[in-house]
Chains A and B, each alone.
Chain A
């Protein structure tokens, strides 16, 4: 849990603090900040509409290249943030032309299983189409829908659902 939240903290600020307060109080202070962040973000900061905007659960394909994009309920439209993420992925893929990828499409638990399988496929393809417009050949991309079968967050709340509505780019080789 802590690991997740730490990535939310401004790394620069943390370094500065570290220099100023090289004592045990820092630990206490950081803990307070962290818990404040965790509680406040649950209610507001991490969603726009119902699209997840947080970066804390993102694994990185490479430094500065997030692996996933998030969707609104029942939607497969890419948000501005998603397009930015995918452009970074495309740039990285252009530089690493031997890499092939699987786009894994997911839905939240608030839909029927079969429809969600189709929706996951549609979301992964939205990401695929965008990568292709940035010059990534379709034969480097395969698509796999998990529907609602593989959530990252097992919570039953709007924030958890927003994290689960996603397309994740996974290296295939």
Chain B
């Protein structure tokens, strides 16, 4: 993990933000910006050495493919067909012939150069405004060659930020539950992958049922539910070392864990005698606090990003609804009042919205509402879907969806999907096996 993070960022040219091209992030993908991603140029010597170490013929072009895929997936950009490009990558990087790029209707252009410097991968890139004929930004990175995909993600984040005015979400990872086997005897493993589905890795063997993994703010720890020895308890896992431990010493099932925004506490439910309440445990001094005290089911707690409030799910009104309280458990207020049942509230990292799952008339919805419950918007409807998790910039939600089985009970699948806050740009997130319970990490390079 540590060696992944060592990336040197050098600003080649300080760029001033004049009124150049902009992408309006709030409008969905109705008019994605046409962008040309020129393959990053590479000299022959570097090409050969990286081909040996990375088993990739042309690492420059591979990195540009990562960028292209990211941009396309965001729904805000329309990467243009490389076959139409007139200018050679190395020359374009020095001085683009804007008329050529204009001709293929590119409004923005990404160019770059890759070089082997002391067995490190040095990548520089430039973003150009084609219409204005100006350079918008230029950056260079040096890192270990194995980080080449991350370089592509970081470049995408920089381009996204420059063009939308908001932080990106590409240099991130997803932790989720990989599923396999028949519906009645599902085998579940913790798995982690890059946001674009690359570098998938299983973290547990599938010997015991595992559910609902969630990252801590630095994305190095995960809290999740494990049925180890048939005792469902909240666990803590250090991704780098693989060390796991039970969280607290509860005489019964603990579940629905999440970290506090400072990463110092875990908030979760503890079920006893048919009643689930919300508790926190301080990870340093191990002090356990009871936050709710009500004979109903209180679960799925999620902190506001400032740590001052908690939204949670309770059936104290008779049915599942969403409530907000202060983080000490006082001032409990119901915020969901629409038709149907509401569950899995998650506070947006921007603080302004709460995403949720809604069940109404036999359909499941992923939606968002303001933190006072107003402005409810349903983004997607399906037979079954739940458990949204926010991208770190609060613009995209990832969740899982299950299919209806036929009369023989066959045809079941569970997959990860993402959708923009605008309700546009719904996409299947590819995983090697069936998948559920996704949780999005923070930006790994910040």
Chain A positions within 8 Å of B, measured between CB atoms, are 74, 76, 109-115, 117-119, 121-122, 124-126, 129, 143-145, 149-157, 160
Specify the chain A residue showing the minimal Cβ separation from B257: A114
**For the complex of A and B, 7 pairs with smallest distance between CB atoms:** A125-B274, A154-B409, A112-B343, A154-B183, A118-B276, A156-B404, A114-B256
11 contacts between A and B (CB under 8 A): A109-B402, A110-B362, A112-B344, A118-B299, A125-B273, A129-B274, A149-B209, A151-B184, A154-B184, A155-B405, A156-B383
Partner pick for A160 among B252, B315, B387, B409, CB 8 A cutoff: B409
When the two chains form their complex, are residues A154 and B182 in contact, meaning their CB atoms are under 8 A apart? yes
When the two chains form their complex, are residues B313 and A117 in contact, meaning their CB atoms are under 8 A apart? no
When the two chains form their complex, are residues B387 and A113 in contact, meaning their CB atoms are under 8 A apart? yes
Shortest A139–chain B CB gap in Å is 13
Q: Please give the number of chain B residues whose Cβ is less than 8 angstroms from any Cβ of chain A in the complex.
A: 48
A-B contact count (CB 8 A): 107
B427 interface residue per 8 A CB criterion? no
Specify the chain B residue showing the minimal Cβ separation from A104: B230
When the two chains form their complex, are residues B184 and A152 in contact, meaning their CB atoms are under 8 A apart? yes
Complex contacts, A150 vs chain B, CB 8 Å: 184-185
Chain B positions within 8 Å of A, measured between CB atoms, are 182-186, 209, 211-212, 225, 230, 232, 252-253, 255-256, 269, 271, 273-276, 297, 299-300, 313, 315, 319-320, 343-344, 357, 359, 362, 383-384, 386-387, 402, 404-410, 412, 436-437
Which one of A76, A122, A153 has the greatest number of beta carbons of chain B within 10 Å? Answer: A122
Asked whether A155 and B211 contact (CB < 8 A) given A114-B343, A121-B274, A122-B274, the answer is: no
The complex places the Cα of A145 from the Cα of B254 at a distance, in Å, of: 11
The complex places the Cα of A76 from the Cα of B295 at a distance, in Å, of: 13
Complex contacts, A122 vs chain B, CB 8 Å: 271, 274-276, 297
Which one of A121, A155, A160 has the greatest number of beta carbons of chain B within 10 Å? Answer: A121
Partner pick for A110 among B271, B344, B359, CB 8 A cutoff: B359
Asked whether A118 and B271 contact (CB < 8 A) given A149-B211, A154-B409, A156-B405, the answer is: yes
The complex places the Cα of A154 from the Cα of B255 at a distance, in Å, of: 24
Specify the chain A residue showing the minimal Cβ separation from B273: A125
The complex places the Cα of A172 from the Cα of B70 at a distance, in Å, of: 52
The complex places the Cα of A153 from the Cα of B182 at a distance, in Å, of: 11
Complex contacts, B436 vs chain A, CB 8 Å: 113
The complex places the Cα of A125 from the Cα of B186 at a distance, in Å, of: 25
When the two chains form their complex, are residues B359 and A115 in contact, meaning their CB atoms are under 8 A apart? no
Complex contacts, A118 vs chain B, CB 8 Å: 255, 269, 271, 276, 297, 299
Specify the chain B residue showing the minimal Cβ separation from A149: B209
Complex contacts, A152 vs chain B, CB 8 Å: 184
Shortest B204–chain A CB gap in Å is 15
Complex contacts, A157 vs chain B, CB 8 Å: 407
The complex places the Cα of A112 from the Cα of B319 at a distance, in Å, of: 13
Apart from A115-B300, A144-B253: 12 A-B pairs, beta carbons within 8 A: A113-B211, A117-B253, A117-B269, A118-B255, A122-B297, A144-B232, A150-B184, A154-B182, A154-B412, A155-B409, A156-B404, A157-B407
The complex places the Cα of A131 from the Cα of B109 at a distance, in Å, of: 72
